[in-house]
Amino acid sequence: MSNRKRIVNAKIVTPSKVILDGCLEIEDGVIVSIEEEPLASECSDDIDANGSWVIPGLVDSHSDAIEIEMEPRPSSIFPLEVSFYELEKKLVGEGITTIYHSLSLLEEYAKKWMRQNQTVIGLIKEIVELSKKQHLIRHKTHLRYEITNIDAVKDVQDLIKTKMIDQLSFMDHTPGQGQFRDIEIHKKLLMEHRHYTEEQAENIIQESLGQEKLASTVIEQLAQLAAEYGIPIASHDDDTVEKLSVVKSWNATISEFPIELEVAKRAKEMGLYVVMGAPNALLGKSHSKNLSAIEAIQNGVVDILCSDYYPSSLLHAAFKLYHQHNIPIYKAINMVSINPARALGIDSEVGSIEIGKKADLLIVSEDRTRPVLETVFVNGMIVCQMRYQLPSLALNLS
């Protein structure tokens, strides 16, 4: 017996246009028709969007949120199973229906427990297992491999071969280049955000400067192995045009957070998907004083926005681009849906409102220009519904 439902009276956002007053029909969790005209008659079982937007569920290619959920304060570490399911409830309430949990393989004895080798490997394996059980949204893993972590090569190979990861990025957070090219800004970040003394921050920077890095041949071998298993490869914090040539030798298809506009432009010319942070776009600046996402978008070089460290930013950033920067709504939504899905090779199933795709959908109204998420569908099933209450009218006692 099939399970059919219709969403009516909707502004449907497709990859190339908006259908005003449209109707979308779902059967067995899949979109089976999209009508561009109002229905002549409606059924009592129809879901009335009341003129609100219907957009695809958001695809977040890079989110550190699981780290924060597990360790909200230093030394306060919660079990992954608790954090996984509690975070999932937050993510679905933010419109994210596909999440790539980004875990940083920093080093064996990293100061942050969450980024130590065995911790990360264990977390990835457990996330994969939890994602097979009851869940609200789609869970993927994104391994962020620090190229100074020379002891973890075998571990990364094993994760690739056992199909534990869905995206692999290579990172280099050595001070003096990349995200931390300005050492003074890096030192200030360590002192203000991580609460180190100036002396401690100086020592950390000096230790980092002396670290050995993986040989380029080893990185290329890992990249080739990932490609053989169909795992998309990303670079991270590209800061020079020359580095992009190295990135291409890894078979990378994604450039995350390019540091300068010229680098972002060149990455786009080379056919890389360019990713910027939605928090950067929402706030109007980079917290590391690097390239502004808005500037990059206005120059037409951004394909994807990811939530990075703030999941709520995805939906808000897209609507900010529409209302404040005159980006067509479908193009803004593409940055948080079909574009990341394409970059990550899952666009045949999710990421857009098209016939044959899985019905991962959001109904979004607006409070002036603020998006108000009302209903979330995954596989055509309502998994989250917000029923906002208006203030009660004051009683007239006179």
Helix (H) / strand (E) element for 4: namely strand 4-13
Q: What is the pLDDT of residue 111?
A: 73
pLDDT tens sequence across 11-61: 999 999 999 999 999 999 999 999 998 876 677 789 999 999 999 999 999
Q: What strand order describes the sheet that includes 233-236?
A: 58-63, 96-105, 138-146, 167-171, 233-236, 254-256, 273-277, 304-306
pLDDT tens sequence across 303-331: 999 999 999 999 999 999 999 999 999 99
For 330, the 3-state DSSP assignment is helix
pLDDT tens sequence across 125-152: 999 999 999 999 999 999 999 999 999 9
**DSSP string across 79-139:** -HHHHHHHHHHHHHTTTEEEEEEEEEE-BTT-SSGGGBHHHHHHHHHHHHHHTTSS-SSEE
Distance CA 225, CA 283 (A): 38
For 386, the 3-state DSSP assignment is coil
**Where is pLDDT greater, at 271 or 213?**
271
Instruction: Give the mean pLDDT of 160-173.
Output: 93
**Domain 57-343 bears CATH identifier 3.10.20.30:** no
| Most distant pair of Cα atoms in the chain: their distance | 83
Distance CA 124, CA 141 (A): 7
Mean model confidence pLDDT for the chain: 90
Distance CA 61, CA 249 (A): 22
Where along the chain do the CATH 3.20.20.140 domains lie?
57-343
Ramachandran quadrant class, 186 (left: phi over 0; alpha: psi -120 to 50; beta: rest)? alpha
Q: pTM of the entire structure?
A: 0.90
Q: What is the pLDDT of residue 398?
A: 47
Range scoring the smallest mean pLDDT among 78-92, 196-210, 270-284, 301-315: 196-210
Q: What is the pLDDT of residue 38?
A: 80
Give me the CATH code for the 4-55+356-385 domain, please. Answer: 2.30.40.10
Share of the chain above pLDDT 70, in %: 87
**β partners of residue 54:** 12, 363
Q: What is the pLDDT of residue 176?
A: 47
Distance CA 22, CA 35 (A): 6
Where along the chain do the CATH 2.30.40.10 domains lie?
4-55+356-385
Instruction: Give the mean pLDDT of 225-239.
Output: 95
Sign, Cα dihedral of 113, 118, 120, 124: negative
